[in-house]
Amino acid sequence: MKVSVPVALGAALVLTGGAVTGLRAQAPATFVVESPTMATGRFMPRDYSPDGRNLSPPLTWSGLPPGTRQLAVISQDYGAGRPPPWVHWIIYNIPSSAQGLPEGIPFDADHPMPTEIAGAVQGNNGWGLSAYRGPAPPAGSVHHYHFAVFALDEEFDLPPGLDRGELLQAIEGHVIGQGDMVTLYERQPMSERPG
Amino acid sequence: MTLPPKDPRPAISRRDLLKTAGAAGAAALIPDAVGAVTEEAPALAPLLAGPMTNLTASETEILSAMVDRLIPTDELGSGALDAGVLQYIDRALSEAESDAAEAYRSGLAALDQYSRYSRGGPFIDLSTVDQDSALIDVQIGAATGAGAGFVGSSASFFNMVKSHTWQGMFGDPKYGGNVDFAGWDLINYPGIRLAVSPEDQRSLEADQLERARRSAYDFGLFE
């Protein structure tokens, strides 16, 4: 299933919160972020969480603004973290030729990136790991997970391991477009799962 | 759907790997067993279960797979299984770490339950990629909420095993680990000396210092 859900600029700014500091004075263009396995406003599959294989989910994007030379992605939860957001995933130096991210980006730096995103590197999430780690909210609470994609007008060669603040600082003034996708997750412990 | 990268190494059953490594470690610790192991391969399974005092056969398998991922044997040198970490931990559970026996029992069972729930199979049968992924979730505490039976945070269990693995790998061989000084060789530790001469220091800096393969207890000062 592929669900197209364009995000309005106003909503994008609200959803990405602190990321607005990385924007230009001129409002960035918006573009569409989708996933072949997830849909905005729906629960994500458990394989993207520690209740499953904890794979990074696939993303696709379309309608990038002209002049896009590189992309960056931050996945975060504004309902967690002290202070919020809790960062689940950061990946950047993504070539503009990429039309998305495949499922299961390696969490081991010794494993090469898929060829379509060669050169991309991962930053440090809330656990201090340069890898995707999916939702693990307290049982019984539904959390929202944002996948914010930034279109950049410059080809950066940033080192791996940047945290969210460091990445936003590095790309400040170079964000010419932004898209966002919001999914949900609620843990269902073994004891509460039927069968 | 694109699947994550698979382990580039040939598909070797984790059980086979365990038996091989377990036999090697046990043989190093129990010289009398060497003949039986090398001459008669079928003796592997009993040998694996035999030397363990505290861990059951099932717990031994799971812990073997776990420490093998923490310090694998690779091109850099020997791994935890080669160094007898498994035997070190089993022995420690009878001695200095006897209070941890129940934590191992519940933690290893929980790790296996968590692997079945999240990755669809027992921990020892997962690919190394999935084993590493599961261990990361245990390490950061994300496995706790899966209801697999971890007592407290799964991170506590991980840190306990990691700490004991480090001890068994890099501690003094007197305590049963660091077999054949595998851990010290791995980190190029030159060994224990009661005195270091200027010549020793120069040799060390030139990476030419002969390694002193002795336990601290061989010096007689610490008995």
- With a cut of 60, say whether residue A67 has pLDDT above it: yes
| CB-based contact A190 B146, cutoff 8 Å | yes
**pLDDT for the residue A194:** 59
A55 touches chain B (CB under 8 A): yes
pLDDT at B31 over 50: no
With CB atoms and an 8 Å threshold, state whether A189 touches B140: no
Q: What's the CA gap between B10 and B16, in Å, rounded?
A: 13
Quick: pLDDT tens for B153-165: 999 999 999 999 9
Per the prediction, chain B carries an average pLDDT of: 81
Q: Over 50: is that where the pLDDT of A50 sits? A: yes
* pLDDT confidence of residue A96: 98
Distance between CA atoms of residues A119 and A72, nearest Å: 12
Query: Lowest mean pLDDT: which of A137-151, B14-28, B102-116, B201-215?
Result: B14-28
Question: Does B68 lie at the interface with A, CB-CB under 8 angstroms?
Answer: no
Beta bridge partners of A181: A147
Query: Distance of CA A191 to CAs A135, A187, B103, B205, Å?
Result: 19, 11, 21, 58
Give the angle subtended at the CA of A21 by the CAs of A16 and A25, to the nearest 5°.
Answer: 110
The mean pLDDT value for A9-36 works out to: 62
pLDDT(A186) > 70: yes
- Confidence tier at B3 by pLDDT (50, 70, 90): very low
Inter-chain CB pairs, A–B, below 8 Å? 72
B45 at A interface, C-beta within 8 A: no
Mutate to test the interface with A, among B112, B118, B150 (most CBs of A within 10 A): B118
| Residue ranges per structural domain of chain B | 14-189, 192-223
Relative orientation angle of helices B154-170 and B85-92, to the nearest 10 degrees: 110
- Whether A89 shows a pLDDT value over 90: the answer reads yes
Q: What is the pLDDT, as a whole number, of residue A2?
A: 34
Q: Report yes or no: A37 at the B interface, CB cutoff 8 Å.
A: yes
Q: Is there a contact between A52 and B148 if contact means CB atoms under 8 Å apart? A: no
State the nearest Cα–Cα gap between B81 and chain A, in angstroms: 22
- Model confidence at A25, pLDDT cuts 50, 70, 90, reads low
Q: What is the pLDDT of residue A4?
A: 34
Report whether B213 contacts B191 (CB < 8 A): yes
Per-residue pLDDT, A26: 73
pLDDT band at B223 (very low <50, low <70, confident <90, very high): low
Nearest CB neighbour to A138, from listed B118, B137, B145: B145
Whether the link from the prior residue into B198 is cis, omega within 30° of 0, is no
pLDDT in tens, A98-147: 999 999 999 998 899 999 999 999 999 999 999 999 999 998 899 999 99
For residues B7-25, average pLDDT: 33
pLDDT above 90 coverage of chain A, percent: 79
Find all residues with CB under 8 Å of A143, minimum gap 6, and list them: A77, A79, A80, A135, A137, A184, A185, A186
CA distance B73 to B78: 5
Average pLDDT score over residue span B18-28: 33
- pLDDT surpassing 90 at residue A48: yes
